[in-house]
Each structure stands twice: as C-alpha cells, then as structure tokens.
Amino acid sequence: MLLFLEQVLNGLQLGVTLFLMSAGLTLVFGIMNLINLAHGSFYMIGAYVGATVTARSGSFLLGVLAALPAAGLVGMVVEILVLRRLYDREHLDQVLATFGLILFFNELTRILWGRQPLFMDVPDLLSGTVDIIPGAPYPAYRLAVICVGIAVAAFLYVLITRSRIGMQIRAGASNREMAGALGVNIRLLYTLVFGLGALLAGLAGVMAGPILAVEAGMGESILILTFVVIVVGGIGSVRGALVGALLIGMVDTLGRAFLPGVLRLVLPASEADGVGASLAAMSIYIFMAAVLAWRPRGLFPAHG
Amino acid sequence: MRSHMMTAALAALLASGPVLGADPVKIGMVTTLSTKAGYLGEDIRDGMLLAIQQGDGTLGGVPVELIVEDDGRDPEKGRQIAERFIQRDGVKLMTGIVFSNVAMAVVPKVVRDDVIYLSPNAGPSALAGKGCSENYFNVAWQNDNLHEVTGQYVTDSGFGKVYMLAPNYPAGKDALAGFKRYYKGEVAGEVYTKLGQSDYAAELAALRASKPDAVFFFLPGGMGINFIKQYSQAGLGGQIPLFGPAFSFDERLLKAVGDSAVGVINGSQWNWDLDNSANAQFVEAFRAQYQRTPTLYASQGYDTARLIGSALAATGGDVTDLAALRAALRKADFESVRGSFRFGPNQHPVQDLYVREVVALEGGLTTNKTKAKVFSDHGDAYAADCKM
C-alpha cells in the first residue's frame, strides 16, 4: 500500500511535468492549427539556459528566472521568423519545417555548449527527502515540482477563464476567422500564445534539469508523451491537457511499477520481466487507443 | 557527407620516412559524432589523432591518413560509409564504430571484402563466438567483460541480494547475463526499462521496497546520468551501494552527474591512474592537447592506433599482404596504456580488469580512482565457439 501511494505521487509528478509541456502545445495546436514538433526544443533551451545560469551564479532561482524569458523569447522569435509562413500550409509542411527546427536547435546547443551533458544540481533547500507518507521518504524537489505544476494550472485557469486575453484565446480556439473579424489582433495573439507555450515548456525544462541529464535532444523523448497527452485530452483544451497529463503520468508510472509484478502471477519470472517491460512501454499508447475509441476527439474537445 | 578529412601525413612525407614516396596508408573511421552519444566517437577519434600526431603524421613510422565520417548511430548509414571507404578510397584498414548495432551491420560485410576491421569500442557476442573472423580484431573488450568484472567484485565483497536494472534491448539483457555469470548471490529484482527512459521514480520506489543490499545497473549515456541523480535524490545514495560498468562513469559523464556519483564502484579495463609508463605519457599528452582527462573510449582509440602502428612497422607499411598484416596485428606488439594486453584465439582482448571508485575532488569535481584488480588475463565466454 505504501509503495502504491509512493508510485501515485511519482505518477502525479510526471503528469505535472507533462502538463507544463502540453498546455502550450495544445493551445498552439488548437488555436493556430499548427503542428509544432519543435516544442521540445524550448524545453531543452529552458534546461540549458537554466543550468548555465545556475552554474555561473550559484543560484537555482536565478537560473529559473533566466530560463523562462529565454525560452519564451526564442519561442516568439521562431513564431515571427518561421511559423508565420506556415499557418496556411498543410500539416505535412509544418511537420517538415518544425522537424528541421529540432535538428537546428539540437546542433546549435552542441555548438554553443559542446557535446557533453551539462550538470545541474537540486537547490540545497530542496535537496533532502520528506516523509510525506511515513516510511517512504520522497524527494523534496519532486514535491516542489508538483506544487509548481499545480500553481501553473491554477494560473492558467484564471488567465483563460477570467482575463480578457483568455477570452480572446478561447474565441480564437472556437472560431479563428470570427474572432479576427470582431477585431481581435490575431497575429499578436498568436505570437503571445506561442511565447507563453514556449515559456511553459522552458519552465518544464529547467525544473527537469536537476532530475534529468541536460543534453542536446532531451526534448524529443518528452515531446512524444506530450503529443499523446494532448490527443487524449482533446486538442486545444487546456483542461484536457491537465486531465490527460495526469492520466498519462499515472498510466505510465503505475504500468512500469506494477505490470511486471502482475504478469509474474501468470508467467515464469524471466519472461514476465521482459514482457512486462515491453507492455509497460506500450501502456500509454494502448490507453490512448482506448480513449480514442470511446471519444474520438479526446476527453475534452475544444471545438464544438 | 564528409565531415572531417585529416591529412596528417604531409609533414611526414616531406621528411624522409621509411616508405619513400608511397601514398599514406588510409584508415577509414566510421564513428558516431552526432546525436547525444557523439562524445564517444569524439573521444575515440581524439585518442587516435593524438597517437598520429605523436608520430608526426605516422603510425609506426608509416604515414597514415585517417578519414573520419559520422554514422549518426544509424546502422544503415554506417554500412553506406563503409561501402564508400572501400569503393572510393580503397581502404584496407577500418575502425571507429561505437555501437554494437552499427558494428553488426558493418563488420561482417567488410571483413568478407578483405578489409581488416579493428574495433575500438563495440564487442558484440555474435562477433566473438561463431561469427568471429580472422579479419576482425577487437581492441576494447567483449561487451560482457565490464559487467563480468563488476559481478565478480560484488560477489567478492560479500553482497548477496542484488537488484539489477538495464534497458530493454539486446545489450541490456547481455549486460545482466554477463553480470550474473560471475555474481553468485540472490537476485532481489531484475528490471528492464524502456530504452531512452528519463524518469526512474517508479523503478526507484520498487527498488527501495525490495530492500536489496546492492544495486547493479547498466544504463549507458544520459540514462545513467538521470538514474544516478534520481537515486541520490531519493535518499538511496550512501545507503545501498551502487555498481555498474564504466560506461556510465566516464570522465565526461561524471561532470554532468556531480557528487551524486561519489562512491559508485564501476568495472573497467583502464583508468587514467593505472601505473605504467605508456599510460602516464598518454594521459599527460591527452590533457595537454585537449584540456580534459581522457575517457576509456579515448584510451581505446589510442591503443587501436598504436596497435595499427606496430603492425604497419612490422610490414613496412604494406597493407596489400593481408596475411602478413594479420599476423603482425595478432602479436599485439605495442605498449598498451592498460598494461597487459594480448589477443585471445578469437582475436579479442585478454587483459586485466579492474574496478574503480568515483571519488570527490576539490571544487565539486569527481573522478575515478582504481580500487582493485579483479581479473588477470581475462578473456571472454565466447572464445571457445570461434573456429578460425
């Protein structure tokens, strides 16, 4: 039982990181109708800038504060220079161009920072463990990540449902042309939304820095999960992204944790380990297929 | 796409070398310079270039030209590059491949085409046993070796309940099989993770719950960095000792891991502090040239280049008489930076194997220190299957 609760916390933490990534991606996908494979690059930029500033200044907080605007600015520049030309093109063109951006950013980080992964440590304040469940010490830093994720979710909720810009975003998601006709500056809105999405990806990246290896190409592994999340949640819906991210985080974590053990009840141990590992790796895709069979447009489709 | 072309032979041609007027011997290097793992190929290449530079553009007094191309960790691309080396450049000596899957796509083909291949890193079992070839020399290790030495050390140290972790792909399964060949205690858990997995929270929670007295893991590259950092953050560092092969603890990865790795014991055939004169001058020269401590990959590249040098010196730079060249290579008549080194019957290394411990240095840095020699003159488990 203890182990199960600990795994649920782990699932929550993975889900929260995925939410930060997918919130931005789903907005871009839903409002701009743009497939952006380079979203993982903003995650990587956040991690690299955060790691560098943290190493130079010795302060994790400064690292975070530098990483957010860096990722956001790069996102806006990319939107203005590259993506604006792609809005009216087919999805295939968008996939090709943004895939090119992935290669560009990966190589750029190798040129700027070298091939060697960067080091980023947990800030001293959060380096310990907390006995949130008695008997199962949990890393304080991961708890902090969960808290930040919840705070961001609350902030996005207020921004989207209560603010003027949120109203415009929702209008844009429902009907782009009509929102433009009613006088919303769609171009500016796109740039801002894209910048916000990139900033959130950068936040996810800098927070992942102390847990993961900060290396060129780190964005791609999380990007695939992120796409699964927004498809499950419903493209364009931030609420869907939140629910989808938590579900995917849980399914992935609990699958890895318990599938081999469950299989051992029916299979010999050595086979169960191999089959269990393979099944666990597939579990989120099976889950996605099940959700889509039940609700083909995802759990919370944004467009009516 | 030719990313690098090193014509190091010029100076040597101007001076009167032993082979007057001859073209330099071309050595084709298929290696991984891009992708996350690009630093592995970079270090192997830099080790080779250092040996060539120390010979003023020659190896064993024979002018050489090292042609380097990047395979991007893609077996198909590696095969195409090898093909080009043979067709276009008439290469007779090849080396450089970092990964076993690329090696399996390239090596069996090139050795059939009468090209000698010297492996500076990958040592898949398929090429050590039934698939061995007299044109294939492994100058690094058979893949299982570094796991075997760790298994022996864990047994010798009296650990009896080990939790094991490796990625779910052939090399991961081989790693745990190699470890278990010499580890005699109980298995607390045997877990295969997704290749390229970055978050290990679920595995760490299960690991803690199974209460092992030691952990063995094989997670090359970035996966290893992630695992060690998270292991330490979960409060397990310093509580349950961690063991692994050297691949997660080379000097460049250690910089990315920080103190979390301190105390980890890892199996290796080489370390920068091994006490022999060839090694001392190598480490000093490498540091002077590249401003970093060499990794085991660099040492393997350097040894491969010097082995080629010894053979070229013996044949006077003649690479057309393959039988003579093979005989010269088989003698391994060079001073290895590992100390003892010779080839077994399957032309894989017979060498001493060590465990190293990660220790803290001043200024928050860490490095490997040789802890114990575990095996002397250790070969591999597949040599008996090799019929040459």
With a cut of 50, say whether residue A288 has pLDDT above it. yes
Residue B228 neighbours by CB under 8 Å, 6+ apart: B242, B248, B257, B260, B261, B264
- A239-253 pLDDT, tens digit per residue, is 899 999 999 999 999
B162 in the same domain as B114: no
Band of residue B221 on the pLDDT scale cut at 50, 70, 90: confident
Number of domains in chain B: 2
Band of residue B256 on the pLDDT scale cut at 50, 70, 90: confident
With a cut of 90, say whether residue B76 has pLDDT above it. yes
pLDDT value at residue A303: 58
Q: Say if B193 is an interface residue toward chain A (CB within 8 Å).
A: yes
User: Are A257 and B206 an interchain contact pair (Cβ–Cβ within 8 Å)?
Assistant: yes
Say how far apart CA B320 and CA A11 lie, in whole Å: 61
CA distance B321 to chain A (A): 40
Comparing B29 with A84, which gets the higher pLDDT? Answer: B29
Interface predicted TM-score (ipTM) of this complex, two decimals: 0.79
Q: Of chain B residues 29-88, which have a CB less than 8 A from chain A?
A: 34-36, 38-39, 42
Hey, what are A121's tokens? 């440590």
Q: Say if A260 is an interface residue toward chain B (CB within 8 Å).
A: yes
DSSP line for B85-132:
HHHHH---EEE----HHHHHHHHHHHHHTT-EEEESS---HHHHTTT-
Residues of A in contact with B220 (CB under 8 A): none
Say how far apart CA B223 and CA B197 lie, in whole Å: 6
Residue A156 burial by Cβ neighbours in a 10 Å radius (0-12, 13-18, 19+): buried
In total, chain A counts a number of residues equal to 304
With a cut of 50, say whether residue B53 has pLDDT above it. yes
Residues of A in contact with B198 (CB under 8 A): 208, 212-213, 218, 221-222
With a cut of 90, say whether residue B285 has pLDDT above it. yes
Say how far apart CA A180 and CA A177 lie, in whole Å: 5
pLDDT value at residue A229: 95
SS3 B377: strand
User: The domain that contains B314 carries what CATH number?
Assistant: 3.40.50.2300
B181 in the same domain as B118: no
Say how far apart CA B99 and CA B78 lie, in whole Å: 10
B381 in the same domain as B339: no
Band of residue A18 on the pLDDT scale cut at 50, 70, 90: very high
Say how far apart CA A294 and CA A278 lie, in whole Å: 24
B230 in the same domain as B371: yes
Residues of B in contact with A208 (CB under 8 A): 198
Count, in order, helices (H) and strands (E) of chain A.
11, 2
Domain encompassing residue B121: 2-141+273-343
Say how far apart CA A46 and CA A262 lie, in whole Å: 39
B169 in the same domain as B312: no
Residues of B in contact with A254 (CB under 8 A): 202
Average pLDDT over residues A103-121: 89
DSSP category for residue A137:
E
pLDDT value at residue B194: 86
Say how far apart CA B269 and CA A116 lie, in whole Å: 23
Q: Say if A98 is an interface residue toward chain B (CB within 8 Å).
A: no
Q: How far is CA B290 from CA B175, B272, B309, B366, in A?
A: 32, 15, 22, 18
CA-atom Rg of chain B in angstroms: 21
Type of residue numbered B39: Y
User: Are A127 and B230 an interchain contact pair (Cβ–Cβ within 8 Å)?
Assistant: no
Q: Of chain B residues 310-329, which have a CB less than 8 A from chain A?
A: none
pLDDT value at residue B309: 96
B358 in the same domain as B337: no
With a cut of 70, say whether residue A304 has pLDDT above it. no
pLDDT value at residue A200: 94
Burial B178-188 (b: 16+ CB within 10 A, else e): bbbebbebebb
Cα dihedral B291, B295, B299, B302 in deg (nearest 10): -50
B364 in the same domain as B217: yes
pLDDT value at residue B47: 97
- Decide: B344 and B354 in contact? Cβ < 8 Å: no
Say how far apart CA B181 and CA B202 lie, in whole Å: 28
- Decide: A207 and A65 in contact? Cβ < 8 Å: no
Residue B18 neighbours by CB under 8 Å, 6+ apart: B61, B62, B316, B317
B370 in the same domain as B334: no
Residues of B in contact with A128 (CB under 8 A): 235
B22 in the same domain as B46: yes
B150 in the same domain as B137: no
User: Are A3 and B205 an interchain contact pair (Cβ–Cβ within 8 Å)?
Assistant: yes
Band of residue B3 on the pLDDT scale cut at 50, 70, 90: very low
With a cut of 60, say whether residue B277 has pLDDT above it. yes
Residue A165 neighbours by CB under 8 Å, 6+ apart: A159, A189, A192
B381 in the same domain as B319: no
Among residues B95, B79, B77, B119, the alpha carbon closest in space to that of B25 is found at: B95
pLDDT value at residue A114: 85
Mean pLDDT score across all residues of chain B: 90
Mutate to test the interface with B, among A3, A115, A145 (most CBs of B within 10 A): A115
pLDDT value at residue B16: 38
DSSP line for A12-43:
HHHHHHHHHHHHHHHHHHHHH----TTHHHHH
Type of residue numbered B208: R
SS3 B28: strand
User: Are B256 and A210 an interchain contact pair (Cβ–Cβ within 8 Å)?
Assistant: no
Residue B293 neighbours by CB under 8 Å, 6+ apart: B251, B272, B283, B286, B287, B367
- A210-259 pLDDT, tens digit per residue, is 998 898 888 988 999 999 999 999 988 888 999 999 999 999 999 988 88
DSSP category for residue A126:
G
Q: Of chain A residues 117-156, which have a CB less than 8 A from chain B?
A: 117-119, 121-122, 127-129, 136-137, 139, 141-142
Say how far apart CA B43 and CA A71 lie, in whole Å: 31
Mutate to test the interface with A, among B36, B240, B252 (most CBs of A within 10 A): B36
Say how far apart CA B325 and CA B319 lie, in whole Å: 6
Which of A13, A129, A221 is opposite residue B198, by nearest beta carbon?
A221
Q: Say if B191 is an interface residue toward chain A (CB within 8 Å).
A: yes
Residues of B in contact with A271 (CB under 8 A): none
Residue found by looking up tokens 């490997």 in the block: B368
Comparing B223 with B14, which gets the higher pLDDT? Answer: B223
Q: How far is CA B252 from CA A87, B196, B258, B293, B294, in A?
A: 42, 19, 11, 8, 8
B226 in the same domain as B370: yes
Residues of B in contact with A116 (CB under 8 A): 39, 252, 255-256
CA distance B13 to chain A (A): 34
